[in-house]
Amino acid sequence: PDVPTPSEKLLGFAAVGKSLADKVIVPAGYTASVIYAMGDPLTASTAAFKNDGTDGDFESRAGDQHDGMEFFGLDSAGKPSANGSERGLLAVNHEATINEKYSAFFIHANGGTNTLPRPAAEVDRETALHGISVVEVRKVGGKWEYVKDSAYNRRVTCLTECDIHGPAKGNALLKTKYSPDGSKTRGTLNNCGTGKTPWGSFVTGEENWSGYFTRGAADDAARGDKSVASLKRYGRSQGAASRHAWETGGADDKYARWNISKLGASTDGSDDYRNEMNGQGYITEADPYNKTRALRKRTALGRYAHESAAFGKTVAGQPLAVYMGDDSRNEYIYKFVSTATWSEADATPADVLATGDKYLDAGKLFVAKFNADGTGSWIELSINNAAIAAYTTYKFADQADVLVNARLAADAVGATKMDRPEWCSVNPANGEVYFTLTNNSARTAPDGPNPRTYEDMKGSSKQTGNVNGHILRVKEKDGNASATFSWDVYLFGAQSDANPGMVNLSSLTADQDFSSPDGLAFAKSTGICWIQTDDGAYTDATNCMMLAGVPGSVGDGKKVTLAYPAGNVDTFVGKTPTADTLKRFLVGPVDCELTGIAESPDGKTLFVNIQHPGEGTAMANVADPTKYSSQWPANAGYGAGKRPRSATIAITKDDGGRIGT
């Protein structure tokens, strides 16, 4: 009797204002509760997390920096059930740690050490915090909680054995001392965006893995082959330090593997770790319901800084399309088209990983080329493509080489350099594909779908590049295998008071303005497009946030001409949003990024991740909570200690309605 009748108007909630408070703010009538934070124990025998730097056993605890996340339902008896909405599994990416120089200081008692060699015990904690977790969650007495002793709970770290699948399996480029036949590697690393396959498995994107490795100052000459060009293209110059200096932890191969110098005498790399970095950078698939099965790295989808993977609408008898972005400045957007055509029987398979083999191990990889007139095309990255065969910067040996070095192949065919493609998602209403282009400080000249470069904007910000980012959308001309498409910009990020003709091109109001879109996913239940930010440009006015959008379709807006001193540039802007079509839904605590969007199948719970609150804290202040930039979630009543922790929250509507109404 106390429960009000659910109101079902999409975006019926009152917009949340911008905030600098150290807390999660949701609209009136909604509740957000913390359910699963870094360090939480995942087995019955693991000690409670003290959060003072003395905890151990991180292989049995929630990892750090919760990022992309997907929900997999369970029925009331705990059996897999696609429609289970009150009990289920969350598969969570643990991207990275908060570190200063080498040390992930919040997990070490004294902040850890930044002198070399790094103590093995510190390295072991840091490697254990990376990877993914699968954790059971359930509603008890109307409140969500995680299940500490669930038999489903799982940790995969950046040292857990994974299987290489697809065309690069067994290729010379994958041979290492750990796997001389090139069929395995250790770990999944810097896991960022996620996806859910049409057959019900979990996929995770390996993003900024390159920086964890190092190679010697004279390694270019020692190698003396084309691998040097590959390493440089993927961000590993000789002599550059690794992020955590894990390679200094000891003689064991679990430390040595982070040094990818050519040290051995073999010609194929099977006696050292020179090829070790080729084992990272994939869309990697897991069976969320079975913790005994190894993850499979889907090399057919290419190797780069993967964010999410979004599946085009399934049509029986037609191939599948998987859309993906490479999140680095001036990198590319990709599409994989499966060889196998979709069978509805595969929507509920007995073995999800075998079904993954069917759809994700054979197919064609394409890269996007955008034209300034609002059209574009997909270019196949094939060893048989003349531009790839004739490329002189890097001589490709075979198709596996094209996939492992997809960035170089995309360079060869002249693909369009984008403003950092982060998440992508497919609009269930019409199949259009949305890509967040988060920002790009290296954007110096406008180019097609990347039209803003503030440097040239008189009377506007003096910052350079595309500061606030935008959200691009693509409409295939002819289904998943289409060779051509049209595009426009759904929304340009901007402060509401920015120049409307050059910056705030979407005419955002104070209830809608945002900067640096990153997480983006459509809710299946409501069709709402959830948008999350990872921003540093507007954080003087507001912490990072989440917005709800009800988008139209490509071409519903107008052509706009930006008047640069160097010449006018046309772009295509979607329909101007209204209070009924775009509204701020949530603002997070200090220094966090909002990420991870996973709804229960009934749409009544939305799980979201608060990543790296307090990351602006200086390591020197690790023992003084008053100097932390954030004390969340401790200040929300969750857990021991005051050190900030990445965490999952569950959002419910007090009247029991669906989220976003």
In the complex, the smallest distance separating the C-beta of residue 422 from ligand FEO, rounded to whole angstroms, is 5
Out of 124, 136, 534, 599, which residue is the one contacting Ca ion (CB under 5 A)? 534
Query: Which CB sits closer to ligand FEO, 136 or 518?
Result: 518
In the complex, the smallest distance separating the C-beta of residue 284 from ligand FEO, rounded to whole angstroms, is 15
CA distance 12 to 548: 11
Q: 378-437: which residues touch Ca ion (CB under 5 A)?
A: 422
Out of 40, 122, 206, 207, which residue is the one contacting ligand FEO (CB under 6 A)? 207
Out of 86, 95, 331, 361, which residue is the one contacting ligand FEO (CB under 6 A)? 95
Count of CB atoms situated within 10 Å of the CB of 45: 9
Helix (H, G, I), strand (E, B) or coil at 605: strand
CA distance 384 to 205: 27
In the complex, the smallest distance separating the C-beta of residue 105 from ligand FEO, rounded to whole angstroms, is 20
Query: Which CB sits closer to ligand FEO, 518 or 591?
Result: 518
Q: Which does 593 bind (CB under 5 to 8 A by kind): ligand FEO, Ca ion, none?
A: Ca ion
Q: Which tokens go with 177?
A: 């001392």
Q: Which tokens go with 524?
A: 């299946």
Query: Which CB sits closer to ligand FEO, 220 or 518?
Result: 518
Total residues interacting with Ca ion, rule: CB under 5 A: 5
Q: Which does 476 bind (CB under 5 to 8 A by kind): Ca ion, ligand FEO, none?
A: none
Count of CB atoms situated within 10 Å of the CB of 565: 7
Query: Which CB sits closer to ligand FEO, 488 or 534?
Result: 534
Task: Note whether 593 binds Ca ion by CB under 5 A.
Answer: yes
CA distance 150 to 346: 28
Give the strand order in the sheet containing 296-298.
184-186, 161-165, 296-298, 283-286, 202-206, 191-196
Query: Which CB sits closer to ligand FEO, 432 or 518?
Result: 518
CA distance 320 to 322: 7
Angle at 228 between CA 226 and CA 232, to 5 degrees: 130
In the complex, the smallest distance separating the C-beta of residue 418 from Ca ion, rounded to whole angstroms, is 14
Q: 47 CB contacts (<8 Å, ≥6 apart)?
A: 41, 55, 57
Q: Are 636 and 23 in contact (CB under 8 A)?
A: yes
Out of 307, 326, 401, 488, which residue is the one contacting ligand FEO (CB under 6 A)? 307
CA distance 661 to 527: 11
Residue span binding Ca ion (CB under 5 A) among the ranges 36-44, 99-107, 213-221, 590-598 = 590-598
Total residues interacting with ligand FEO, rule: CB under 6 A: 7
In the complex, the smallest distance separating the C-beta of residue 281 from ligand FEO, rounded to whole angstroms, is 13
Task: Note whether 419 binds ligand FEO by CB under 6 A.
Answer: no
CA distance 174 to 510: 51
Query: Which CB sits closer to ligand FEO, 405 or 611?
Result: 611
Helix (H, G, I), strand (E, B) or coil at 187: coil
- Name the nearest CA neighbour of 562 among 460, 464, 414, 441: 460
In the complex, the smallest distance separating the C-beta of residue 133 from ligand FEO, rounded to whole angstroms, is 17
CA distance 324 to 308: 6
Helix (H, G, I), strand (E, B) or coil at 598: strand
Residue with tokens 């506007």: 460
Query: Which CB sits closer to Ca ion, 86 or 422?
Result: 422
Phi, psi of 627 (to 5 degrees): -105, 5
Q: Are 99 and 105 in contact (CB under 8 A)?
A: yes
Residue span binding Ca ion (CB under 5 A) among the ranges 106-114, 127-135, 535-543, 587-595 = 587-595
In the complex, the smallest distance separating the C-beta of residue 108 from Ca ion, rounded to whole angstroms, is 20
Cα-Cα-Cα-Cα torsion 100, 101, 103, 106, nearest 10 degrees, comes to 0
Q: 180-209: which residues touch Ca ion (CB under 5 A)?
A: 192
In the complex, the smallest distance separating the C-beta of residue 192 from ligand FEO, rounded to whole angstroms, is 3
Out of 220, 327, 361, 432, which residue is the one contacting ligand FEO (CB under 6 A)? 327
The DSSP letter of residue 372 is: T
In the complex, the smallest distance separating the C-beta of residue 150 from Ca ion, rounded to whole angstroms, is 27
Out of 55, 86, 220, 422, which residue is the one contacting ligand FEO (CB under 6 A)? 422
Angle at 17 between CA 13 and CA 19, to 5 degrees: 135
Query: Which CB sits closer to Ca ion, 304 or 572?
Result: 304
State the binding string over 436-475 for ligand FEO (x if CB under 6 A, else -).
----------------------------------------
Task: Note whether 615 binds Ca ion by CB under 5 A.
Answer: no
- Name the nearest CA neighbour of 520 among 68, 93, 71: 68
Q: Are 301 and 328 in contact (CB under 8 A)?
A: no
Count of CB atoms situated within 10 Å of the CB of 477: 12
In the complex, the smallest distance separating the C-beta of residue 165 from ligand FEO, rounded to whole angstroms, is 23
Q: Which does 207 bind (CB under 5 to 8 A by kind): Ca ion, ligand FEO, none?
A: ligand FEO
Query: Which CB sits closer to ligand FEO, 437 or 554?
Result: 437
Q: Which residue is nearest to Ca ion (CB)?
A: 534
Task: Note whether 518 binds Ca ion by CB under 5 A.
Answer: yes
Query: Which CB sits closer to Ca ion, 346 or 615?
Result: 615
CA distance 34 to 221: 52
Query: Which CB sits closer to ligand FEO, 96 or 528?
Result: 96
Task: Note whether 276 binds Ca ion by CB under 5 A.
Answer: no
Amino acid at 658: R
Q: Where are the beta strands (DSSP E) in 41-172?
A: 66-73, 87-94, 131-140, 143-146, 154-156, 161-165
- The residues that touch ligand FEO, with contacts defined as CB under 6 A, are 95, 192, 207, 307, 327, 422, 518
- The residues that touch Ca ion, with contacts defined as CB under 5 A, are 192, 422, 518, 534, 593
